[in-house]
């Protein structure tokens, strides 16, 4: 009987040890699962943020409807001294604040960079509402139409860069989301007896 009791005690000790090891494994597995869940949640959040930013960079862009130039006679020469660009937003784009749009003008002589909002209240760079749902400079609807005027007068974006017949200008408009729209503006070969031209 003593032998049987000793066997029972031995088996009891083995069972408790196994139980302790099992509980320890469960705790380790629970901790590991918690870490994995937290990591997965963090990665999902980062992926969603990255996807949203990527989508904005693709979709939150401007569409240039048209571009025109005002012709000025300088002695016997004719040149374009003002460029007016009509813009709206692309399909699927969120609201676009034109005062936060950056521009780059690449002429034959130089590269001109700036922010539309820096000169929006001055005569050298104007934002004009043509058709809009709001009274500010934010494009909220696809039906909105705004004009951006680039002037060659003093302190204007095209300062001392009047465009001669046949000149080409590359215009890039980049929204706050980072989406860029690039267009090539070309002055007609003849400006004689014309007040305005399509670029």
Q: Please report, in tens digits, the pLDDT of each residue of the chain (199 residues total).
A: 455 555 555 554 556 777 788 888 888 888 988 888 888 888 887 777 666 666 555 577 898 999 999 988 877 788 888 899 999 988 888 888 888 899 998 888 788 888 887 755 444 456 777 766 667 788 888 888 888 888 877 566 776 778 888 889 899 999 988 888 899 999 988 888 888 899 8
Token pair of 165 as six digits = 């017949």
Pick from 160, 198, 165: which is nearest to 79 by CA? 165
Three-state DSSP class for residue 140 = coil
**Residue 124: DSSP 8-state:** T
Token pair of 94 as six digits = 């969120």
Q: Domain coordinates of the chain in residue numbers? A: 1-59, 60-198
Pick from 163, 189, 150, 148: which is nearest to 71 by CA? 163
Three-state DSSP class for residue 146 = strand
Residue positions counted in the chain: 199
Cα 173 from Cα 64, distance rounded (Å): 9
Pick from 26, 44, 48, 24: which is nearest to 36 by CA? 44
Torsion of CA 95, 198, 106, 151, to 10 degrees: -80
Burial of 148 (0-12, 13-18, 19+ CB in 10 A): buried
Cα 105 from Cα 109, distance rounded (Å): 10
DSSP E strand boundaries for the chain: 62-74, 77-89, 96-97, 102-106, 111-115, 121-122, 125-131, 138-139, 145-151, 168-174, 180-186, 196-198
CATH of span 60-198: 2.60.40.10
Count other C-beta atoms under 10 Å from residue 112's C-beta.
18
Angle among Cα 69, 129, 90 to the nearest 5 degrees reads 85
**Residue 180: DSSP 8-state:** E
The pTM of the full predicted model, rounded to 2 decimals, is 0.66
Q: What's the distance, CA 168 to chain centroid?
A: 26
Count other C-beta atoms under 10 Å from residue 107's C-beta.
16
């Amino acid at each position: 009987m003593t032998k049987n009791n000793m066997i029972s005690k031995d088996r009891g000790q083995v069972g408790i040890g196994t139980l302790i090891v099992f509980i320890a494994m469960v705790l380790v597995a629970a901790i590991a699962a918690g870490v994995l869940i937290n990591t997965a949640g963090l990665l999902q959040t980062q992926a969603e943020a990255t996807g949203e930013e990527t989508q904005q960079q693709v979709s939150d862009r401007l569409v240039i409807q048209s571009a025109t130039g005002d012709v000025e006679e300088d002695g016997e020469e004719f040149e374009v001294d003002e460029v007016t660009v009509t813009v709206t937003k692309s399909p699927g784009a969120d609201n676009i604040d034109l005062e936060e749009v950056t521009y780059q003008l690449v002429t034959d002589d130089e590269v001109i960079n700036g922010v539309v909002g820096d000169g929006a209240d001055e005569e050298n760079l104007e934002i004009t509402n043509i058709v809009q749902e709001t009274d500010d400079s934010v494009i909220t609807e696809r039906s909105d139409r705004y004009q951006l005027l680039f002037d060659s007068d003093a302190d204007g974006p095209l300062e001392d860069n009047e465009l001669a017949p046949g000149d080409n200008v590359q215009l890039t408009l980049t929204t706050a989301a980072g989406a860029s729209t690039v267009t090539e503006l070309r002055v007609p070969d003849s400006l004689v007896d014309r007040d305005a031209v399509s670029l």
